[in-house]
Structures are given as C-alpha cells and as structure tokens.
Structure 1
C-alpha cells in the first residue's frame, strides 16, 4: 500500500501531497521535513529506495521534481517506481512535457490525475488512454459549466439594466 505521495522541488518546496494513511498535521510536517532532507541530499548514483520509520520511501527525480512514495516494507519497490513513471507519463501527455510550473498553476488537475491513477493507496487504473479519456471528459464538463455560468451572468446583467 502507498501511504502517501510527495512531489518536492530541488529547493525542498512541496508541490503536491496526497495522504492515504492517517497522519496528524504535525506528523505530516515532520515526515515532509525528514523525507525531503534525506532525498534531496542523496547522491544521484545511489538507489532510489530509502528505509524510513519501518516503511520504504521510493523516489525518482524528473527534471526539477522528486516524486516520492512511501510504501510498506514488504511491497515491491520496482512496481512503485513503475507507478511513479506511469504518473509522470500521464502528466507529460496531459500538459505536454510537464514542468514544475504546470503543477504549481494547475495543481487541481495534477490532483485529479493522481486520483484517477490511485485510490486508497492502490493502483486503480493502469491504462493511460483510459485516464486521458477521463481527464478529457472532466475538462469538457468544466468548460460546459463555465459557459453556462457565463451565460447566466449575461442574462442577469441584461435583466438588471
């Protein structure tokens, strides 16, 4: 099971967090500090697995972001690396070569993509095409809602003149 997902910049700023196990806010902050301290200071040639508090942290660096996932000790690290890579490929496909700024300004879309990929710390959908189709459907719903809200605003504005 994946306990949480962290996306951390090279400067140590958290860009995305998703918690699948119960942690208090104090525990979350402490975990983020500890994990970012360990991951950011590791040499690039070292393996991408770190033991941490009876769990394993699996991480991978893509451009300026570290994608980290905390898993149980007995879980398969290579499978989690594949999940991280799968998530990055979906982000790349959606944003067109995803970068840190895409995640900063469109964090809600990144969370939506992660929610389509993982549920309760387990892989939900392995098909990139299915996830892309679901994201496109969600985007079209958002656009329709914006258009309806705009037309309602126009009707109200005309009625109050």
Structure 2
C-alpha cells in the first residue's frame, strides 16, 4: 500500500530482496503496469494506492478482487481504513494480510475468518 506521496505504508515480499532493491522497485512501479518480470495490479482507494506485483500469467481480475477484499476487511476492522490506521496498527495490517496470503498464494477470502484471529489477538493483548 502506497500513499499519494509514493511512501510505502505496508509491503509483503515472497522473494528475498534487499531493502535497497525493495525501495528502488517500489519507487519505480508507481507509474508502470508491467515492470521487470512482474505485472503490477493496482487500485486506488481514497488516499492509498494498493499495489500487487504478480507473474505475467496471473489473472488481473482475481488480484483486483483480492485488493478489494483487503480494503473491505480493513474497513470492517478499522471503520473506513485510512493511512493512519495502517501506520499506527501496522502489526494488525500485516496480520490480516498474512491470514489471506501464505507463500504468495491467496488462501483465505472470508472476511470473518480473517478478522476472528485479529480480534482474538486484540483480546489477548
């Protein structure tokens, strides 16, 4: 997730890249649809851009649905999610993403199944 100024607010990588390579890649892709060996699927919600880099054979519509599910899930949890929610609750945002994606594969699409562990984590804290 990237804000209007191009600052990364939430990122998850399933291939090892150095911090310098990640910053360079994230800075370069904001205006590209295809970059290097990746297809960049993105969607803007309010002041945040959600970007997902995938292989060229990936289904773009499925990835757009994934992005929408991520936003709906965060909206349900935070109540109209914004950049500050992500910045101040980065651990929860990562936790939600990790409930949805494992090893680069989407494994969960139920908002209730994603949010239940997050709520349990909050009660334990």
Is 1:93 equivalent to 2:76 in the alignment?
yes
* Moved >2 Å (runs of 4+): none
Match of 2:114 in 1: 131
Residue 86 (structure 2) aligned to one of 99, 103, 106: 103
More strand by share: 1
Residue ranges of structure 2 left out of the alignment (5+ in a row): none
Residue 26 (structure 1) aligned to one of 20, 40, 44: 20
Secondary structure of the residue aligned to 2:108 is: coil
Residue 43 (structure 2) aligned to one of 60, 70, 95: 60
Post-superposition Cα deviations, 1:48-85, rounded to whole Å, max 9, x if no partner, equal xx111121000000000000000000010000000000
Post-superposition Cα deviations, 1:109-140, rounded to whole Å, max 9, x if no partner, equal 11111111111111121111111211111111
* Cα distance in 2 between the residues matched to 1:132 and 1:26: 33
**TM-score, structure 2 normalization:** 0.95
Root-mean-square deviation (CA), in Å?
A: 1.1
**TM-score, structure 1 normalization:** 0.74
Residue ranges of structure 1 left out of the alignment (5+ in a row): 1-6, 40-49, 143-161
Residue 58 (structure 2) aligned to one of 66, 75, 81: 75
Larger Rg: 1
